[in-house]
Amino acid sequence: MASYIKRRVNKKITKALHDFPLIEEGDRVLVGASGGKDSTALLLELAGRQGKAGPNFDLAAIHIQSDFADKAPREFLKSLETKLSIPFYYLDIAVEGRLKPGFKLNCYWCSTQRRLELLEFAKTNGYNKIALGHHLDDIIETLLMNMLYEGEFSGMPPIVPYEKYPISIVRPLCYCENSELREYIKEAGLSQYTCTCDFSKNSKRKSVRAEIEKLTEGNSTLKRNLFESMRHIKMDYLL
């Protein structure tokens, strides 16, 4: 019998798939696998749904390795590959090597380059959905970051269709909390890799994350209310 945390994460993913058209019949889904707890939990859960009730879909995983990142996550994913009956792809890109003279590497540049490679790979290989491991905390952090630093009310929706690509980004973990995924992976006895590069140490996201924890005191209902505010916008009370 599945544990409490596994049932909880599974139930939240099921709700996300029901509330939004994240995965439909005949979809070819490519999971962006970083080796971190979030994308690993997502990969395990989606792989466990194949051949069961719900839409039939193809599933694969891809790990994009930048030229300066730790290679330990790739070794972990190769060990995971032996346990799952789905294709795994590994792509090396020279993120730092693409910088023009006078420009410095930062998180945004790295993320943009990896996202472009991900989209091109999916398009070339016929995948119409890219599943990313962004969870509830990631989404509300982005919402607050965009309000504070960009002056706009925007975030990371559960599904984002691209105009220039026949592809949609989907986020099946949108209802799952960071703490739940941490417990899920810990119980599974799997590794939890995180970005350790120097450019992430002073990121705005970390400071916003700390402020959200202070604001909500870790209360799940308050976090969920922040998420739901993106679906309940009262235009008459906005500029």
| Joined tokens for residue 166 | 């026949």
Each domain of the chain, given as residue ranges in start order, spans 4-237
Q: pLDDT by residue (tens digit) across 141-173?
A: 999 999 999 999 999 999 999 988 999 999 999
Inform me whether the pLDDT recorded for 54 exceeds 80: yes
Q: Are 118 and 132 in contact (CB under 8 A)?
A: no
| Joined tokens for residue 159 | 């599904």
Inform me whether the pLDDT recorded for 219 exceeds 90: yes
CB-based contacts of 207, cutoff 8 Å, min separation 6 = none
The single residue listed with the structure tokens 């916003």 is: 208
Select from 75, 9, 72, 91 the least CA-distant residue to 46: 9
Query: What type of residue sits at position 108?
Result: Y
> Please, what is the angle between helix 136-145 and helix 220-228, to 10°?
60
Q: pLDDT by residue (tens digit) across 19-43?
A: 999 999 999 999 999 999 999 999 9
Give the CA distances from residue 173 to residues 15, 46, 139, 180, 195, in Å, rounded to whole numbers and listed in that order: 10, 11, 10, 11, 19
Q: What is the CA 41 to chain-centroid distance, rounded?
A: 10
The rounded distance, in Å, linking the Cα atoms of 149 and 84 is 41
Q: pLDDT by residue (tens digit) across 109-118?
A: 778 888 999 9
| Average pLDDT, integer, range 89-108 | 79
CATH level 2 (architecture), domain 4-237:
3-Layer(aba) Sandwich (3.40)
The rounded distance, in Å, linking the Cα atoms of 60 and 29 is 6
Looking at the DSSP bridge assignments, the partners of residue 88 are: 61
Inform me whether the pLDDT recorded for 99 exceeds 80: no
